[in-house]
């Protein structure tokens, strides 16, 4: 009360000036500390990046079309060298040996940097788990969903949705189709069916398919905002969906995915509660792959775990991850149609392996198709869909050259930088599947080819995604004749924005093709 009385005796203008002065003094002191006395003050990099995270926010949200911070970091490496301070508390390193030490350090411990886990708005899924040991337990629990046996069991599911995608494309014969739309529908339908034993049916109509493509864009382009302002999603969680839609279509799309998966999770838990399997593990359905629900229930981590929240968030992360193959498939179709000699070589291999053009390949049969494998491999390298960095924290000091990095420092090595290194991949942006027949390149493949990441934080679904992409590509190229329509590399394919996933320019009209007929 005395303090209030004392403060009330001051003119309001004086109080405001005093508060502003205190705030300015605090901010000035903080900036000075970060630039001159912070444990990372000795590391090279721009002073603005050392002073404030707003440096990153500017390049992510406001520079040109947005999503420019990864490109800025590459420019900083050229200016300052292989180790650069890119935010007040974070370092970026451009070195393959350091990448191996950071991302594949067994048995060393690596925690994830918390801000990067905010981009999907999840905290209980494997992707968003910060602490090393908890992440390892969650990863082991989810790993059998993507086991080779479960992927093989999912083959009829994949075939069903690929056939539906073909029917959708054929219904548009002689009309331009933007490929990302049906590919997004295919990937989301397949994953939803396999993971939740339920149907989205977005392949029934191009308009529905387009909604899922827009959702993919929303998840990716909103990620930098959530990374800079993670608290900003929380008010939306308290609002009804019709109000969220009025305030932000992007946020609404992201929340609708989570709400749909939560509803499916509730239905599954309710069905289990009412069934004979109440209180026990519900067995998988014969003739189908195990769903994500069945896998995670069998590997429940502890009795106090919130089952609804855990299943919902794992499902949301898994569903969102289905967006990445969409971009690779779209890009590889452009490259094949833009390079007729490469498409001809692929078709020669496919024609010999599958005399019937209507055949959808099996996963096993594609293991003996080296050119198909290398086409997808090269597409993953050139069109690597994840532009954002994935920082980890080491609990012990790390070294890089003569530098000693303090423990707890967020560290990252950009994957795209390594896969576009001209010293390893001559003409690195050139799509050239033949390069993978070079034994010298294969000898160093494990070091430089990392589209799925490395170590304990690498992509769990790599075998599933790679097999599905090969299957889709083989089916389309064996079955149909098609041509590019109103598509250019510079405008529609070249990566110019990296909010999290890699995007073409804002002027892009998408990769469009026209199916002209069936092949012989």
Annotated binding-site ranges for heme: 459
Residue 145: count other Cβ atoms within 10 Å of its Cβ: 25
DSSP 509: -
Binding residues: 459
Alpha-carbon gap, residue 208 to 313, rounded angstroms = 24
User: 90: helix, coil or strand?
Assistant: strand
Which H or E run includes 99? helix 96-103
DSSP 277-307: TTTSPPPPPTTSPPPHHHHHHHT---TTS-H
165: number of CA atoms within 13 Å, CB side?
A: 29
E strand segments, 158-263: 176-178
Chain Cα centroid distance, residue 196: 20
Alpha-carbon gap, residue 501 to 222, rounded angstroms = 11
C-beta of residue 179 within 8 angstroms of C-beta of residue 511: yes
User: 113: helix, coil or strand?
Assistant: coil
Count of H helices and E strands in the chain? Answer: 25, 10
Question: Which residues have C-beta within 8 Å of that of residue 302, sequence separation ≥ 6?
Answer: none
Starting from the edge strand earliest in sequence, which strands make up the sheet with 410-412, in order? 83-87, 90-93, 410-412, 392-394, 110-112
* Burial class of 3 by CB neighbour count within 10 A (0 to 12, 13 to 18, 19+): exposed
Closest CA to 70 of 412, 387, 418: 387
* Cα→Cα distances 22→16, 36, 241, Å: 10, 21, 41
E strand segments, 33-72: none
């Amino acid at each position: 009360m005395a303090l209030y009385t004392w403060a009330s005796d001051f003119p309001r203008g004086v109080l405001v000036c005093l508060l502003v002065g205190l705030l300015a003094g605090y901010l000035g002191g903080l900036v000075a500390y970060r630039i001159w006395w912070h444990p990372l003050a000795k590391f090279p990099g721009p002073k603005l990046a050392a002073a404030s995270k707003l440096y990153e926010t500017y390049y992510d949200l406001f520079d040109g079309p947005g999503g420019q911070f990864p490109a800025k970091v590459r420019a900083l490496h050229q200016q300052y060298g292989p180790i650069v301070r890119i935010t007040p508390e974070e370092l970026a390193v451009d070195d393959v040996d350091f990448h191996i030490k950071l991302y594949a350090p067994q048995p060393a411990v690596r925690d994830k940097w918390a801000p990067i886990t905010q981009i999907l708005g999840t905290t209980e899924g494997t992707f968003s788990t910060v602490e090393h040991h908890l992440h390892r337990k969650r990863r082991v629990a989810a790993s059998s969903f993507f086991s080779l046996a479960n992927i093989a069991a999912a083959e009829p599911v994949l075939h069903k949705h690929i056939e539906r995608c073909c029917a959708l494309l054929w219904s548009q014969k002689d009309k331009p189709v933007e490929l990302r739309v049906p590919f997004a529908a295919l990937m989301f339908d397949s994953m939803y069916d396999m993971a939740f034993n339920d149907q989205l049916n977005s392949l029934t109509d191009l308009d529905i398919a387009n909604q899922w493509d827009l959702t993919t864009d929303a998840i990716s382009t909103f990620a930098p905002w959530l990374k800079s302002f993670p608290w900003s999603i929380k008010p939306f969680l308290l609002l009804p969906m019709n109000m969220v839609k009025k305030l932000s279509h992007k946020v609404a799309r992201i929340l609708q995915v989570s709400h749909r998966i939560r509803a499916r999770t509730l239905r599954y838990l309710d069905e289990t509660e009412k069934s004979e399997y109440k209180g026990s593990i519900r067995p998988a359905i014969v003739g189908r792959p195990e769903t994500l629900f069945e896998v995670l229930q069998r590997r429940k981590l502890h009795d106090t775990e919130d089952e609804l929240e855990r299943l919902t968030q794992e499902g949301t992360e898994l569903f969102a991850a289905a967006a990445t193959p969409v971009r690779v498939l779209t890009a590889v179709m452009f490259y094949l149609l833009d390079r007729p000699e490469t498409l001809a070589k692929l078709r020669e291999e496919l024609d010999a392996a599958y005399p019937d053009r209507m055949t959808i390949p099996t996963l096993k049969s594609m293991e003996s198709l080296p050119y198909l494998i290398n086409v997808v491999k090269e597409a993953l390298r050139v069109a690597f869909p994840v532009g954002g960095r994935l920082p980890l924290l080491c609990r012990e000091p790390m070294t890089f050259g003569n530098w000693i990095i303090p423990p707890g420092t967020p560290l990252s090595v950009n994957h795209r930088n390594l896969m576009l290194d001209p010293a390893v991949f001559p003409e690195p942006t050139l799509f050239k599947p033949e390069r993978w027949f070079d034994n010298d390149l294969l000898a160093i493949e494990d070091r430089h080819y990392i589209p799925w990441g490395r170590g304990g934080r690498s992509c769990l679904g790599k075998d599933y995604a790679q097999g599905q992409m090969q299957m889709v590509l083989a089916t389309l190229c064996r079955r149909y004749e098609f041509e590019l329509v109103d598509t250019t590399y510079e405008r529609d394919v070249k990566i110019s924005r990296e909010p999290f996933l890699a995007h073409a320019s804002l002027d892009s009209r998408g990769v469009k093709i026209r199916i002209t007929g069936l092949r012989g």
